[in-house]
């Protein structure tokens, strides 16, 4: 009898709590029969698992075209083929865009290299520059002068005046007269192409035409000589440039031009120049096309 009463009580209690028990049982059932129960959570369907993005993302951040194309060729996940059909269509267009962008970038880079300005200036070429008479500064330097024949009188455009160095008789104790020189200052670098000298009879049997940037270190343009079969220079003042020694075809750059005399035409005298001219062009002006 006691068992019957207990069973009836259990049935009654179960009837009263039917909804609650069913809910709790369904909640505790890990399998969760969606079709059989009236409380299916299909309305809150779990989002599909992410599929492999092979064939979807085609632009590699490294910009490697070959890598991007390789990803395009890979096969997508067969389970997600239908879901990603539109994305695959976009992939084809993206691949075309990637190739077009890479090709355009390469063409632009080639144009930049081809059109890039030249950073290094071309070497200076004196050949196209006209050779004109250069005007030196009024101050002329010489190794020595004698009497009233000063160094600047070699460029005063007067044939009746001259520069004269010391003579052999001026050397103490009969020592040999050392080399004598005279140089012109042009105030800045010039390219020397021609030198004309009207020598007096106390001329140079041997001399050098030299250039320098600092009047200390000299470079030789050419060796010269006044001697010829008829005369060693003009004993009397010349009236023009006809007796001059005209040295052309020179090529040298410097601020200073020096006539360096090493051997005399007349041993009892020194060296003497009536007039001299230097031709060439200013380096800076010519190099800039002025």
What are the residue boundaries of the structural domains of the chain, listed by start?
53-108, 132-287
Does residue 36 surpass a pLDDT of 60? no
- pLDDT value for 93: 58
Mean pLDDT of the chain: 73
pLDDT in tens, 170-223: 998 878 999 999 999 999 999 999 999 999 999 999 999 999 999 999 999 999
Calculate what percentage of the chain has a pLDDT beyond 90. 40
The pLDDT-based confidence of 22 (bands split at 50, 70, 90) is very low
CATH number 2.40.70.10 given to 132-287: no
Written in H, E and C, the secondary structure of the chain is: CHHHHHHHHHHHHHHHCHHHHHHHHHHHCCCCCCCCCCCCCHHHCCCCCCCCCCCCCCCCCCCCHHHHHHHHHCCCCHHHCCCCHHHHHHHHHHHHHHHHHHHHHHHHHHHHHHHCCCCCCCCCCCCCCCCEECCCCCCCEECCCECCECHHHHCCCCCCCCEECCCHHHCHHHCCCCCEEEEEEEEEEEEEEEEEEEEECCCEEEEEEEEECCCCCCEEEEEECCCCCCCCCECCCCCCCCCCEEECCCCEEEEEEEEEEEEECCCCCCCEEEEEEEEEEEHHHHHCCC
- pLDDT value for 150: 97
- pLDDT value for 228: 53
- pLDDT value for 79: 54
Q: Which of 59-68, 122-131, 267-276 has the lowest mean pLDDT?
A: 59-68
- pLDDT value for 243: 85
The pLDDT-based confidence of 235 (bands split at 50, 70, 90) is confident
The pLDDT-based confidence of 141 (bands split at 50, 70, 90) is very high
Question: What are φ and ψ of residue 63, in 5° steps?
Answer: 75, 15
- pLDDT value for 127: 55
- pLDDT value for 70: 45
pLDDT in tens, 93-135: 555 665 666 566 666 655 544 554 555 445 545 556 889 999 9
Say which residue, 146 or 172, is predicted with more confidence.
146
pTM: 0.56
């Amino acid at each position: 009898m006691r068992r019957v009463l207990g069973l009836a009580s259990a049935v009654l209690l179960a009837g009263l709590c039917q909804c609650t028990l069913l809910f709790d049982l369904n909640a505790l059932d890990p399998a969760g029969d969606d079709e059989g129960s009236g409380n299916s959570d299909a309305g809150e369907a779990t989002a599909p698992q992410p599929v492999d993005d092979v064939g979807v993302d085609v632009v590699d951040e490294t910009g490697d075209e070959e890598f991007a194309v390789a990803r395009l060729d890979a096969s997508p996940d067969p389970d997600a083929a239908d879901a990603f059909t539109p994305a695959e269509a976009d992939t084809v267009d993206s691949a075309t865009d990637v190739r077009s962008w890479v090709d355009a970038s390469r063409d632009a880079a080639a144009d930049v290299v081809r059109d890039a300005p030249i950073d290094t200036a071309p070497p200076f070429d004196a050949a196209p520059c006209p050779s004109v008479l250069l005007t030196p500064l009024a101050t002329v330097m010489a190794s020595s002068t004698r009497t009233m024949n000063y160094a600047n009188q070699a460029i005063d455009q007067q044939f009746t005046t001259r520069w004269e160095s010391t003579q052999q008789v001026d050397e103490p104790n009969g020592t040999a007269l050392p080399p004598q020189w005279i140089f012109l200052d042009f105030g800045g670098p010039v390219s020397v192409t021609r030198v004309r000298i009207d020598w007096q009879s106390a001329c140079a049997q041997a001399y050098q035409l030299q250039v320098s940037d600092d009047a200390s270190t000299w470079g030789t343009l050419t060796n010269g000589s006044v001697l010829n079969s008829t005369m060693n220079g003009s004993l009397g003042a010349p009236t023009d440039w006809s007796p001059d020694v005209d040295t052309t075809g020179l090529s040298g750059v410097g601020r200073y031009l020096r006539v360096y005399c090493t051997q005399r035409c007349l041993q009892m005298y020194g060296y003497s120049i009536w007039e001299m001219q230097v031709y060439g062009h200013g380096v800076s002006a010519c190099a800039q096309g002025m």
